[in-house]
A and B are shown apart, each in its own frame.
Chain A
Amino acid sequence: MNLSHFSAVLLFSLFTSIVFGITQRTEPKKMVRFAAFCFVLFVAGTVAASWAMWLIKP
């Protein structure tokens, strides 16, 4: 199996966010919202960190 770095990020974020949503909230609607929030944070954080590394490269 060969994944691009970005698709690996998407899969990691998706699965982790689902588990976080289910375990960290009590109501289904809040679970979905928290999972979506975590997913966006994971992906956006990774993209931001990637750009930061690109900017500080020698």
Chain B
Amino acid sequence: MTTKVQAAAAAGGKMGNGDAASTSVSPALVLLAGWLVPGTGHLLLGKWVRALLLMVSIMGMFAIGIALAGKVYTPNTGEPLDMLGFAGDLGSGVLYLLARLLGWGQAPVLVAVADYGTKFIVVAGLLNIVAAVDAHSLASGRKQS
């Protein structure tokens, strides 16, 4: 059974409107690349303006969060809210690994803007997941353009 979305995507591909259908990049690779480095998924699909905007937005948000002395969550603290924060942070891909390697975001949160920084970092990760899934949808033809 074909859904309306799938049928429209298939029709778009046949007419040459589906950019994803004309590329040979694997959707899984696009998803992985988009997660690891913000915007790379769209870059692989040739959508460099979107890629640049996503990269600047997500990396900018992450950088501001770090600059505001926000907290970078670590796994296995035993606190459910910390685990959710860790899941959000992990969405940033290599940015999260970089932060852990360089020891960013380890100072205790003492002021309101630092708490804002923590939220900036988590939301940057969540937005990166949304962007990576969007790139996957474009690569698989689920989203037309």
**Is residue B87 within 8 Å, beta carbon to beta carbon, of the partner chain?**
no
Shortest Cβ distance from residue A50 to the other chain B in the assembled complex, whole angstroms: 13
Known interface pairs A15-B61, A16-B127; A8-B116 also in contact (CB < 8 Å): yes
Per-residue interface assignment for chain A, residues 1 to 19, with 1 indicating a CB less than 8 Å from any chain B CB and 0 otherwise? 1110100100110111011
Is there an interface contact between A1 and B54, defined as CB atoms closer than 8 Å?
no
Which interface class (under 10, 10 to 19, 20 to 34, 35 or more) fits A?
A: 10 to 19
Of chain A, the residue at the smallest CB distance from B42 is A22
B26 at the interface (CB under 8 A from A): no
When chains A and B are docked, how far (Å) is the Cα of A14 from the Cα of B133? Answer: 21
Give the distance to chain B from A15, nearest Cβ to Cβ, in Å: 4
Residues from chain A with a CB closer than 8 A to the CB of B131 are 19, 22-23
Give the docked Cα–Cα distance between A20 and B134 (Å). Answer: 10
Q: Which residue of A lies closest to B120 (CB)?
A: A12
Would you list the 9 A-B pairs with minimal beta carbon distance, nearest first?
Answer: A1-B67, A23-B134, A15-B57, A19-B127, A18-B57, A15-B61, A8-B116, A22-B50, A26-B145
